[in-house]
Amino acid sequence: MNVLFDNWDTYWEGFLGTLKLTGVSAALALVLGVLVAACRVSPVAPMRMFGAVWVNVLRNTPLTLLFFAVVLGLPRFGIVLPFFVFAVLALGCYTSAFICEAVRAGINTVPTGQGEAARSLGMTFGQTLGLIVLPQAFRSVIPPIGSTLIALAKNSAIAGSFSVVELLGTYRTLSELGFNIVWTFVWIAVGYLIITLSISAVFAYLEKHWEVAR
């Protein structure tokens, strides 16, 4: 218990760091993921190809390698940004591949007849997409996006080893100060459990809220 209260500030800073990193990366991943998913379902072949390459390459890249390339490689191009931005770029791009696949799978679960019916009623492409397809896809997309974001929160721990302030990185400060290493890790673990369990609770609520009897 003492380890937690004696170092409340360090822990709190790390906890907020992880939250911020997860939040900003999640926003980037959602935007990028939806855009790439749009490419993957578009009727334009080169865009589909771009989407496929983006997803397959990023899904099969070890995140540590991506961090390595972004944090240590980009400065060689003369692109120097704060470490936090680098970490967000790496995490966001990596996660966007998984978001894209979730969104694409969601769009594909909407039966073809739904779109055909909408168009035969005279709806435009925008109306079909916005009023018919996306609302139905949205529901089936919630659970996989939830688990992707939980994975994102867990993956953000890697950023601690690339000079970003976050929860796992606090162990360095504390072990230098000579605190009990086991308890240090217990409280770090509790912090991560709080974050991952909150995300899964939020998504369980969302799933229930948008649920419809079919």
Partner 1 sequence: MSTDGTALYDQPGPKALARHRLYGIAATLVLAGIVAWFVYKMFDTGQFTAEKWNAFTYAGIQELLLRGLGNTLRAFAWAAVLSLVFGAVFAAGRLSDHRLVRWVSTLVVEFFRAMPVLVMIFFIFIAMKVEPRIALIAGLTLYNGSVLAEVFRAGVHAVPRGQSEAAYALGMRKTQVMAHVLIPQGVRTMLPAIISQLVVALKDTSLGYLISYEEFLYAGKQIATNLDYSLPFIPVVIVIAPIYIGLCMLLSGLAKWLEQRGRRSRRTAA
Cα–Cα distances (Å) from 76 to 61, 72, 82, 158, in that order, read 21, 7, 14, 21
130 interacts with partner 1 by CB under 8 A: no
Residue with token string 């162990």 = 171
CA-closest candidate to residue 90, choices 187, 139, 158, 18: 158
Q: Which of 133, 142, 149, 165 binds partner 1 (CB under 8 A)?
A: 133
Q: Which of 6, 8, 116, 202 binds partner 1 (CB under 8 A)?
A: 116
126 interacts with partner 1 by CB under 8 A: no
Binding-residue pattern over the window 68 to 107 for partner 1, x denoting contact by CB under 8 A: xx--xx--xxx----------------------------x
For the bound state, the minimum distance from the C-beta of residue 193 to partner 1, rounded and expressed in Å, comes to 6
What dihedral angle (degrees, nearest 10) is formed by the CA atoms of 42, 43, 47, 52?
Answer: 70
Residues 6+ apart with CB under 8 A from 157: 18, 166, 167, 168, 192
Q: Which of 112, 208, 212, 213 binds partner 1 (CB under 8 A)?
A: 112
CA-closest candidate to residue 29, choices 98, 84, 102: 98
Neighbours of 141 (CB within 10 A): 21
- Residue whose CB is less far from partner 1, 111 or 209: 111
63 interacts with partner 1 by CB under 8 A: yes
Helix axes 8-40, 134-155, angle to 10 degrees: 140
177 interacts with partner 1 by CB under 8 A: no
CA of residue 13 relative to chain centroid, distance? 21
Separation CA 114–CA 133 (nearest Å): 7
- Residue whose CB is less far from partner 1, 22 or 145: 22
Residues of span 184-213 touching partner 1 by CB under 8 A: 185, 188-189, 192-193, 196-197
140 interacts with partner 1 by CB under 8 A: no
Please list, residue by residue across 114-124, b when 16 or more beta carbons sit within 10 angstroms of its beta carbon and e when fewer do.
ebeebeeeebe
64 interacts with partner 1 by CB under 8 A: yes
Interface residue list for partner 1 (CB under 8 A): 41, 43-48, 50, 56-57, 59-65, 68-69, 72-73, 76-78, 107-108, 110-116, 119, 125, 128-129, 132-133, 153-158, 161, 168, 171, 175, 181-182, 185, 188-189, 192-193, 196-197
